[in-house]
């Protein structure tokens, strides 16, 4: 059993990268829906770019791409964690205390996952790791 656990632990930096890429792709989708209408979300039709939701869309597209690539992961993830915390408290928390009832689960999830990336970095398969090994 110990050998299996140690074997899985050796994959930890790579699985961190897999998690980062998956979360980045899902997050990017929120931004592309807001800014480019893909996938189409009717609520975002005619979204003014100069608005809080427009700014969120820019952060989600730029931040999502950087997270996917693992480039400037820690600072990007810290900013995105803050974005999601603000989104939760501005949009969801006023509708009720429990995230399952105020539809804020995704915002809470993203905020804490990005906070983890801010501390842990991008993992083994990231441009940050390649930059460190080249230096």
Q: What is the sign, positive or negative, of the torsion defined by CA atoms of 121, 124, 126, 131? A: positive
Section 76-103 average pLDDT: 97
How many structural domains does the chain have?
1
Determine if the pTM surpasses 0.75: yes
Domain coverage including residue 101:
2-134
Q: State how far the Cα of 14 lies from the Cα of 19, in Å rounded to an integer.
A: 9
Question: In which band, very low, low, confident or very high, does the pLDDT at 6 lie, cut at 50, 70 and 90?
Answer: confident
Q: State how far the Cα of 109 lies from the Cα of 103, in Å rounded to an integer.
A: 12
- CB contact set of 1 (below 8 Å; sequence gap of 6+): none
Question: In which band, very low, low, confident or very high, does the pLDDT at 1 lie, cut at 50, 70 and 90?
Answer: low
């Amino acid at each position: 059993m110990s050998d299996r656990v140690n074997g899985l632990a050796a994959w930890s930096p790579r699985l961190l990268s897999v998690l980062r890429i998956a979360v980045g792709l899902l997050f990017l989708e929120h931004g592309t829906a807001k800014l480019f209408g893909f996938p189409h979300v009717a609520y975002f039709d005619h979204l003014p770019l100069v608005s809080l939701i427009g700014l969120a869309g820019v952060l989600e597209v730029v931040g999502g791409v950087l997270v996917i690539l693992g480039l400037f992961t820690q600072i990007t993830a810290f900013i995105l964690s803050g974005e999601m915390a603000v989104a939760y408290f501005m949009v969801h928390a006023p509708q009720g205390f429990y995230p399952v009832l105020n539809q804020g689960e995704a915002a809470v999830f993203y905020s804490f996952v990005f906070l983890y990336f801010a501390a842990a970095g991008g993992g083994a398969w990231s441009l940050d790791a390649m930059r460190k090994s080249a230096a």
